[in-house]
Structure 1
């Protein structure tokens, strides 16, 4: 028992110091428990197969998809409209929305859903994201106190009461307690978050080296020279390849890309607009939307002579709203390359460059001595030092890096591609997310929450809400996963050695003679202390029968004492590993262990003091 307590104490010291990564500290503690013989290897590794850990992995993937498809940005923009220019109003809205969702969905699931939305809001409104994410995690736990299914400790005390022959609690028996938790949380978090959570980083990024895709498009006037035309049924272009049409020679314009509605192409389970490069062998089909680069007069002549409909800037493409001046770079991107003096392309006209044939990319413009050459490109000869704006699929642009002797690719186009949201997949991500929430909310659906999350994560990948599987893996925060998985067996070690039983019984039984309020305070803060080191569910399981028996022996109602157990187990904020939501936001908010102590510990203490006086009012002794 003493060895376990020493390992726990040392772990807490290292967590607070912040000099060693938290996941490494947790792994070291786990290894020490195995080496000292307190836990077997099988027992020590149970955390890595725990359903909560598996659920966290799946929720990272779901959250990443919500961000990658632009769904987070859409939802956040609506919340921002409600908040206006008020940072305080935005803070309150985030707390209230998160608490409401947390009443019906697990707090881990709530944070995973809200995390990308809140990050997107912070970026849009230039608010420091560190101020919002820890309160977000706390609000999900507060919301869990609203309903019977909100958090596992609620179900634990329900089981303890019914086993002892008491009337079962109703679905909304917890709502008054939850409302008090949210109110206290809001009042306390507003000043604490401002004092301790706004010191990290700048609100906006400065000194950015790489041009964004939008900046590149604006620099080369792509928005001004880009028009969209739709192929109508009687158009002579339908059924012909782009090479056969010979549009550059006939109209001095070029087709950049083709978009068409697709319901069966690879990775498209739902009808969306597909975006593809205008290759020489691309066959034009009826209702295709062609993106044409050239003078408006030339594009207008092309449309009039070939029965094409010239689209205005507000026409919707299928189910996806898009404006012609807003190029999308989901599958096709742009990048700059600089021609080297020894390049074979020097003094060659653009039409003989072979870029399209060899690499599948088009040259859209040339920057030469701060002058931009954007028209009649096919006959323009390229010079040493020219900067070429090229367009192609992201894979083909990446291939340009394979030939550094002829040119150098500027910036990091693939990094820019990773930032582009797949907006056309937002409805798909929304449907999957909604399905996951429904499966987690209703007990009559025979699907476990962890299964619902795994299904949702898999569907996000299969339906193309990520560019590839690797992108999905990159959304998983492995430091948080390892931290939680490695610390979970600590509760087993404390139980196995009798440490948790000794601490809980001695503290609670020693206070019974001092009156119900002192006993209630003892139960509450004992639960609160233990939850800082072992999971809230395990703590509730340990202390619920002790609280029940203590109340019965003193001939008092067990309800306030059992509610003290569940509230204290759920309202644990002073540690990043006391609840999964706290761990989920740790990396994204760049928090240290001490940040949780500075903000979470005062909130935890104040919440406890309030509950000691409120619970007897709601559930009399």
Structure 2
């Protein structure tokens, strides 16, 4: 027994020492966080606190699988244009007002969190918020932390917002015989959300770090207009659809505008999908792409009863087709070949809309290609993705990036929304475990071609996955060695016999402190039985104590390692480890006030 106790205390001391060194290394910020996290797992393994299997168990844990699957789902939501649509709504209603932008962004994040979890909501909205910040000339660091903190508050709006809520519900059922309503969590969640929004608006400019990330995405929201101005100048590019009763049907495809007025130029004949027409004769539904003065285009369209199909993207970009700007690479096989506007490329899937040599006028006739020449290609989005990855040319902006920022609710929006709804239903009803639900949704996004396998692979934020996977052994060690229970028991014992408010304050402090070091789910699992036993001894309503634990468990605000959501925003915002506590402490004070003062109002501490 003596040797067992000595060994146990040694494991506790080693675990606490590793924890302290890890936090110091994170704060020091001189080593990559992945190296620190992996070093933690290896240190625990080397000192014998955990076994080999335990040291690497985090990388096969359900948590890492859940996060990885959510990255794919988030990628699909972004690729389908759903986040672009949400971003458009934000820009439309927020305008240039920082206050409206922050409030709307945080509100959308909180509502989404209530259905797909904190990590899922942050992963889904992160690309949109970063691009939105660039578009509006703001630093992502000023928006991403309020977004993540809104997600934490949103997890308490309804029962399905967090796994901790389910644990609280189960504990309430076991201890009192009756549970907590689906929307009852909102009694504390809504004040937390409103208060967090107010703090972000009031104190955000003072407490949020003014940092820039290593790299920012390019704002491509007005890319169609930019390309039109660069390649076409004052001319317009319009698609004229041939109706079923048109006299043009049956005419040669090579020049359907043989008698067109001067100043009107035929570019190509395409299908509605953007694919060039290779048939010899025109057919109903074909689209004639013309360039010239808008008045001439209107007159010609009226004379031939043609329908103008263009929208706001000036004939360059739609849900079905888009454009890619390429530069001819040095020593390219294209050097010395002939190119002209309207030429169909060798693949048969793309058409050359324009060709220009730097410093020269835009070419409207046949020209010999030289290294450094620029070409504007048009075709279906899938064709652009496939045929512009070529060593002969260099892409200026990828078609995928253009589509995501310029096409709201693209072709994959409907299947993406259906899969998202199915995942929400599975998560809210617990038909299957959360990792299984997320994994099924991620697989469905690939099968339904909302994202390609390559896009799914690229969606992985490896820094986050490595950090979470490598830190899980430390979280387990803190629990299994008894370090967490020893700390919690000692702190709760000091105030266990005091009044209800001091008891709630003590439980909040213990839960919040542990929540900065280990996952909030693990924190709740440790604190729930301890707090219930103290509530029984002090003859206090167990529901009061449990709701205090629920609020405190969501207050993982002071470090990036406290939740995966906090970690996700670190790199895109350019945050450092020590950037979270300034604004986090202000929000933490709000959580403390709600847990200690507001919880007893809705769930009285005295037992009837």
Which category describes the TM-score, using the shorter chain as reference length?
0.7 to 0.9
5 Å matches for 1:230-379?
230-235=241-246, 242=253, 245-247=254-256, 253-256=265-268, 258-260=270-272, 274-276=273-275, 278=276, 280=278, 285-293=283-291, 309-311=306-308, 313-314=310-311, 323-328=313-318, 333-335=323-325, 337=327, 356-357=345-346, 364-365=353-354, 367=356, 370-375=359-364, 377-378=365-366
Aligned length: 581
- Summarize deviations over 1:274-315 as a string: whole Å, max 9, x none: 222x2645875432323234677997898689x66241645x
CA contact (8 A) 1:547 1:561 kept: yes
How far, CA to CA, are the matches of 1:80 and 1:352 in structure 2? 36
| Distance verdict in 2 for CA 1:488–1:557, change over 3 Å | same
| Partner residue in 2 for 1:516 | 500
How far, CA to CA, are the matches of 1:42 and 1:224 in structure 2? 67
- Summarize deviations over 1:19-77 as a string: whole Å, max 9, x none: 11112211111111222222222223332223332222122222223323332121222
Of residues 543-552 and 185-194 in structure 1, the stretch that sits farther from structure 2 once superposed is 185-194
CA contact (8 A) 1:256 1:293 kept: no
Choose the corresponding residue for 1:491, options 466, 471, 475. Answer: 475
Choose the corresponding residue for 1:559, options 540, 543, 549. Answer: 543
5 Å matches for 1:45-64?
45-64=56-75
Give unmatched runs, 5+ long, in structure 1: 261-273, 315-321, 403-408
How far, CA to CA, are the matches of 1:114 and 1:368 in structure 2? 40
SS of the residue aligned with 1:502?
A: helix
| Partner residue in 2 for 1:419 | 402
Structure 1-normalised TM-score?
0.82
Of residues 246-255 and 216-225 in structure 1, the stretch that sits farther from structure 2 once superposed is 246-255
How far, CA to CA, are the matches of 2:347 and 2:427 in structure 1? 53
How far, CA to CA, are the matches of 2:504 and 2:213 in structure 1? 44
- Summarize deviations over 1:98-121 as a string: whole Å, max 9, x none: 223333432222222332333343
Of residues 127-136 and 428-437 in structure 1, the stretch that sits farther from structure 2 once superposed is 428-437
RMSD of aligned C-alpha atoms?
3.8
How far, CA to CA, are the matches of 2:431 and 2:218 in structure 1? 53
Q: Are residues 1:536 and 2:548 paired?
A: no
| Partner residue in 1 for 2:450 | 465
Structure 2-normalised TM-score?
0.83
Structure 1 residue 95 displacement after superposition: 2.1
Of residues 573-582 and 446-455 in structure 1, the stretch that sits farther from structure 2 once superposed is 446-455
How far, CA to CA, are the matches of 2:454 and 2:214 in structure 1? 29
CA contact (8 A) 1:361 1:390 kept: no
CA contact (8 A) 2:341 2:353 kept: no
SS of the residue aligned with 2:238?
A: strand
CA contact (8 A) 1:232 1:287 kept: yes
| Partner residue in 1 for 2:6 | none
Structure 1 residue 552 displacement after superposition: 1.0
Choose the corresponding residue for 2:30, options 19, 24, 28. Answer: 19
CA contact (8 A) 2:328 2:334 kept: no
SS of the residue aligned with 1:420?
A: helix
| Distance verdict in 2 for CA 1:197–1:433, change over 3 Å | farther
Q: Are residues 1:599 and 2:583 paired?
A: yes
| Distance verdict in 2 for CA 1:559–1:365, change over 3 Å | closer
How far, CA to CA, are the matches of 1:203 and 1:23 in structure 2? 17
How far, CA to CA, are the matches of 2:498 and 2:341 in structure 1? 94
How far, CA to CA, are the matches of 2:129 and 2:579 in structure 1? 19
CA contact (8 A) 1:144 1:151 kept: yes
Structure 1 residue 558 displacement after superposition: 2.1
- Summarize deviations over 1:514-538 as a string: whole Å, max 9, x none: 3332222111101111111111111
How far, CA to CA, are the matches of 2:331 and 2:539 in structure 1? 93
How far, CA to CA, are the matches of 1:518 and 1:352 in structure 2? 78
SS of the residue aligned with 1:37?
A: coil
| Distance verdict in 2 for CA 1:345–1:545, change over 3 Å | closer
CA contact (8 A) 1:220 1:372 kept: no
How far, CA to CA, are the matches of 2:457 and 2:484 in structure 1? 37
5 Å matches for 1:199-210?
199-201=210-212
| Partner residue in 1 for 2:81 | 70
Give unmatched runs, 5+ long, in structure 2: 1-11
5 Å matches for 1:53-132?
53-132=64-143
Structure 1 residue 412 displacement after superposition: 3.5
- Summarize deviations over 1:170-214 as a string: whole Å, max 9, x none: 223322211232233233333443124351239998999xx9664
- Summarize deviations over 1:323-351 as a string: whole Å, max 9, x none: 545545976534355698999976x8757
